[in-house]
Structure 1
Amino acid sequence: MVAVVVAILVAAGAGIALADPFGAQTKAAPVESTARTGLARVTEGTLSARTLENGTLGYAGDYQVVDKAGGTVTELPDVGRVAGQGEALYRVDGKPVILLRGAHTSVYRDLSWGMEGVDVKQLNAALVALGYATRDELDPDSNYFGRQTYYALTELQEDVGLTGTGQLPLGQAVFLPTKEIRITKVIAVRGGSVAPGGVVLRASSTRRQVTVALSASRQSDVAAGDKVTISLPNGRTTPGVVSSVGKVATKADDGTTVEVRIRPSRPKATGRLDQAPVQVSIVSETVEDVLSVPVNALLALAGGGYAVEVVEGGAHRLVPVETGLFDDSEGTVEVTGEGLVAGQNVVVPAS
């Protein structure tokens, strides 16, 4: 930042060298300069340090849909289709495979009356969430397959076009940790065979997300909860919040990075583009009720440090200042100096 400021001053012809920068320079005195200049105000308020990064706008999650029964694929969804819990996701041998929400365990066995386990628990929770039973009728936290599970499952099967047996055979349902998915890739071929354990589809959730490959050296500068501003491809901006910062570094051609995930605060404002390039301004630090000036108002002193040139009633005087937080996106810097108050005019290079 010092190099940038010095370069600005040299380009503007407004470099000032003082043998005794903290002597009488705060007194009203003419300041000789042949550079074209303008005026900016000293302001008081909130200042934020920001990190500007390139990111990718898309959808959260990457799920593989694995078929457990095997057979001939007779129907597949289109890429981009959104499928909700309780819907037929695809068909094998003409029979629908149902999408259900469950994050506890993958399906690995047939489920029927009298069985217990975490896989039964996620089935009960899904049936209650879909409205096939109330919480009073069926405890969504129960890991027991009882009478109400049987009745609720029978209704679900009949609604999707299956024979209502009240039993869930292996391969009739797919459990994924989200209530709604968006198809990103179709791997199986309609009319082709799929073996048990074969991947049929890839999908994401429908939650919007921005990912940033952040330099590993800057990992400590960003934390979950930091506020961000997302610059979209259409030129508009929308707010967001850092949801997670990766702890495992990935080596890339341009260095080592960690993945930062960002949740847009207004998902609808981000549109529907997938894998779209965006810019993200991450607020890493904030200070309140401080004085600030444009960065190009800083004058480098020969003895070290900075000053600003204050203009009052036509008189010019130099006020030595200490710098604090820099807001790169706004081009301003926090300053403190004797006699410096909000509303004063300071000299800046003419634009």
Structure 2
Amino acid sequence: MVAASGVAWASATVLAPPSEVLSEVPFTFVAAEYGEVGSSLTLNAAAEWHPEPNGTNLAAGTVTTVDVANGDEVVLGQRVYSVDLRPVFAARGDIPAFRDLSRGLTGPDVMQLQELLIAAGTYTGPADGEFYAGTERAVEAWQLSQGVEVDGSVRRSDIIFISSLPTRVAVSDELVRGASLVGGEIVMSGLGSVPNFTIPIGDGQSGLISDGDRVEISAPDGSSWEAKVANRLIDENGQLLLILMSTSDASICDLECGAIPVGDPTLLESRVITQEPEVGVVIPSAAFLVKADGEVVVVDRDGAEHVVSVVASSRGMSVVDGIDVGLFVQVPASE
């Protein structure tokens, strides 16, 4: 924006007879200095988990332990809570537990159980959805390792099938020690592996920010996370949001995502870099004159022209190549 206004002034100047312009426009002279040009906007980024309910309890009784907390990452086979001292385990699958699983049964829920047993290291056969002798022996070995009754069958209340594992979870308020469960309660919600990061902005700010601009986010522990502007959307409340994404293969918060609490959005100070810093010879952008052939020049105290190339411009200042530090260049005087 600032560079554009400088070029517009230069173009208007060139269109007039140079002698008239130089004689009629008051000028001052500014020395070229070594410095840095860049610009940024300081805004609040919102980090928020979006729970998707997918953990239905089928155990009836008193909750005796809760082994996960809000924001914890749950992995395949992990014990998540217990009811009447019998543990409940997390397994991966889109089919919810709906029946006890024992020898002779077949189906996708059996396949999901077999995948759990493979991960536990007690089953080496194929996950073919057929519960026969090999699966029964694997269940017995798994039950023995978990300290539960060894009978070769799995109660429907022993497992919560979650569509994606590992995943961070939000724990329901109903899942607390001493609570009574009757079965059918949604006790956990999957959060996915990373929270969403957005920046609410106004229409005026939107024009200053481009997709791909780098964003520095202040993490809760005082360190810095890096992101970039991916795109923008208007939410259901009419608020314009910048959607942020990671600049690497890792997530924005990487191994520190657990620092983002589950619940209301966490506001983190952020800096959107609208012009990456450039260092070099700095002069006011208003010093530029554009020749008829497109060359950009500056004029020194003696009236000599120097061809320059503009490296970066921001807030009325530009980094240029083609002149040295200390050269005084002609700039229109402020009225």
TM range (shorter): 0.5 to 0.7
> Could you say which residue in structure 1 is the equivalent of 2:86?
95
1:267-294 superposed Cα distances (whole Å, 9 cap, x missing partner): 24667343542355679999xxx99987
Aligned counterpart in structure 1 of residue 107 of structure 2, from 100, 117, 131: 117
Secondary structure of 1:239 counterpart: strand
Deviation at 1:97, TM superposition (A): 0.9
Q: Say whether 1:251 aligns with 2:236.
A: yes
Decide whether aligned partners of structure 1 residues 230 and 257 sit closer, same or farther in structure 2, where only a CA change above 3 A counts: closer
TM-score (norm 1): 0.62
Contact 1:42 1:342 in 2 (8 A): no
Distance 1:332 1:115 in 2: 75
Contact 2:140 2:150 in 1 (8 A): yes
Secondary structure of 1:251 counterpart: coil
Contact 1:56 1:211 in 2 (8 A): yes
> Could you say which residue in structure 2 is the equivalent of 1:12?
none
More helix by share: 2
TM-score (norm 2): 0.64
Contact 1:215 1:258 in 2 (8 A): yes
Distance 1:310 1:36 in 2: 11
Q: CA RMSD in A?
A: 5.3
Aligned counterpart in structure 2 of residue 297 of structure 1, from 261, 282, 285: 285
Tell me which amino acid in the other structure corresponds to 2:236: K
Contact 1:215 1:256 in 2 (8 A): yes
Contact 1:69 1:196 in 2 (8 A): yes
Contact 1:307 1:318 in 2 (8 A): no
Decide whether aligned partners of structure 1 residues 238 and 202 sit closer, same or farther in structure 2, where only a CA change above 3 A counts: same
> Could you say which residue in structure 2 is the equivalent of 1:154?
140
Runs of at least 5 residues in structure 2 that lack an aligned partner in the other structure: 20-24
Secondary structure of 2:259 counterpart: coil
Decide whether aligned partners of structure 1 residues 101 and 23 sit closer, same or farther in structure 2, where only a CA change above 3 A counts: farther
Contact 1:184 1:204 in 2 (8 A): no
Distance 1:76 1:320 in 2: 68
Decide whether aligned partners of structure 1 residues 105 and 51 sit closer, same or farther in structure 2, where only a CA change above 3 A counts: farther
Distance 2:120 2:323 in 1: 60
Q: Say whether 1:131 aligns with 2:121.
A: yes
Distance 1:270 1:295 in 2: 43
1:35-54 superposed Cα distances (whole Å, 9 cap, x missing partner): 765524799xxx9x999763
Distance 1:89 1:296 in 2: 63
Contact 1:184 1:202 in 2 (8 A): yes
Contact 1:86 1:99 in 2 (8 A): yes
Distance 2:53 2:274 in 1: 32
> Could you say which residue in structure 2 is the equivalent of 1:19?
13
Tell me which amino acid in the other structure corresponds to 1:74: T
Contact 1:51 1:281 in 2 (8 A): yes
Contact 1:72 1:191 in 2 (8 A): yes
Contact 1:79 1:185 in 2 (8 A): no
Structure 1 stretch displaced more, 208-217 or 187-196: 208-217
Runs of at least 5 residues in structure 1 that lack an aligned partner in the other structure: 7-14, 26-30
- Residue correspondence of structure 1 range 164-243 to structure 2 within 5 A: 164-176=150-162, 177-179=164-166, 181-202=168-189, 204=191, 207-212=193-198, 222=211, 229-240=216-227
Decide whether aligned partners of structure 1 residues 122 and 214 sit closer, same or farther in structure 2, where only a CA change above 3 A counts: farther
Aligned counterpart in structure 1 of residue 267 of structure 2, from 277, 281, 284: 277
> Could you say which residue in structure 2 is the equivalent of 1:73?
63
Report the count of equivalent residues.
Answer: 308
Contact 1:299 1:307 in 2 (8 A): no
Contact 1:83 1:180 in 2 (8 A): yes
Deviation at 1:200, TM superposition (A): 2.6
Contact 1:18 1:302 in 2 (8 A): no
Tell me which amino acid in the other structure corresponds to 1:75: T
Structure 1 stretch displaced more, 292-301 or 114-123: 292-301
Contact 1:55 1:280 in 2 (8 A): yes
Distance 2:226 2:129 in 1: 41
> Could you say which residue in structure 1 is the equivalent of 2:22?
none
1:139-180 superposed Cα distances (whole Å, 9 cap, x missing partner): 24x233333322222222222221122222212101221135
Distance 1:158 1:245 in 2: 52
Tell me which amino acid in the other structure corresponds to 1:170: R
Secondary structure of 1:19 counterpart: helix
Structure 1 stretch displaced more, 165-174 or 64-73: 64-73
Distance 1:73 1:291 in 2: 62
